[in-house]
Amino acid sequence: MDDIRQVFEAVVKAQADGEAAALATVVQVQGSVPRHAGSRMLVRPDGSIVGTVGGGAMESLVVKEALASLRDGETRLRTYALNDLAAGDPGICGGTVQVFIEPINAAPTLIVIGGGHVGLALAELSKWMGYRTVLSDDRAEFCNPTYAPGLDGYVVCKPAEIPAHTRIDRRTYVAAVTRGLPIDIDLIPALLRTDAAYIGLIGSRRRWALTVRALMKERGVDEAALSRIHAPIGLELQAETPKEIAVSIMAEITMVRRGGTGAPMRWIGVTDSDIDEIE
């Protein structure tokens, strides 16, 4: 039971840390086998494991399948015979083991850069929506659990240094709700060097136009790279209050994450033939 507890604790930790992993579970056994049904093993992206499904060559094959499941996001049900080494079977116990392998994707991460009114509202909404939420600001008084309770991380640093302090990968969304151009021209190149799934920058169209000009002339950032930036950030809702702006930003992030269009779903002029087509 200690083995299973360690596996589940590792699953919880991976989720809290925003790390993906794969869970392998022995679901059926026949004959003489090293582990009983219900045995579990967690496989991390680097191939390290917690727990065991039997050890030896069979376990190595399970690890390979688990890593493949992390790459393609698909579950797997594999049967391993443990009775004929000459035929390439991974053991000689004499039985068979069926293993179910499932990728456990961590919750997506939203990094909010800037802890002002909008940043605070955005972090709260992000957490409510199930994102692993990290708040960053170069002012400690705007980036701490007292100011913004219940978040998953607080990083006090210069905005441009955020990639050095927290992982930014393809499941990371970044909302830069910063204080102006002097910060942005250092921050944007740093974010463009990451694999972030989304990079949004707050501000007016004029602010973004000035930022683009400065980035291209002073930092040598090309136009193709800048096309990754969502600026001005959010969907057009005529939002005014910090909470309304937060809704606008999270709506755009959801659109990008889910592959939506952002178009209204309102449907006008429904006819009997329309209903027949739906049915």
Number of helices (H), then strands (E), belonging to the chain: the values are 9, 11
List pLDDT tens digits, range 215-269.
Answer: 999 999 999 999 999 999 999 999 999 999 999 999 999 999 999 999 998 877 6
**Exposed, middle or buried, 220 (CB in 10 Å: 0-12/13-18/19+)?**
exposed
pTM: 0.77
Average pLDDT taken over every residue of the chain: 90
Token pair, residue 219, equals: 């930092």
CB 188 within 8 A of CB 113: no
Whole-number Å distance between alpha carbons of 248 and 255: 11
Cα angle 48, 154, 106; round to 5: 35
Confidence of residue 276 (pLDDT cuts 50, 70, 90): low
CATH 3.50.50.60 fits 109-258, yes or no: no
The CA–CA distances, whole Å, from 164 to 91, 142, 190 equal 45, 20, 10
Domain residue ranges in the chain: 2-104, 109-258
List pLDDT tens digits, range 59-102.
Answer: 999 999 999 999 888 999 999 887 655 444 455 556 889 999 99
Token pair, residue 15, equals: 């989720």
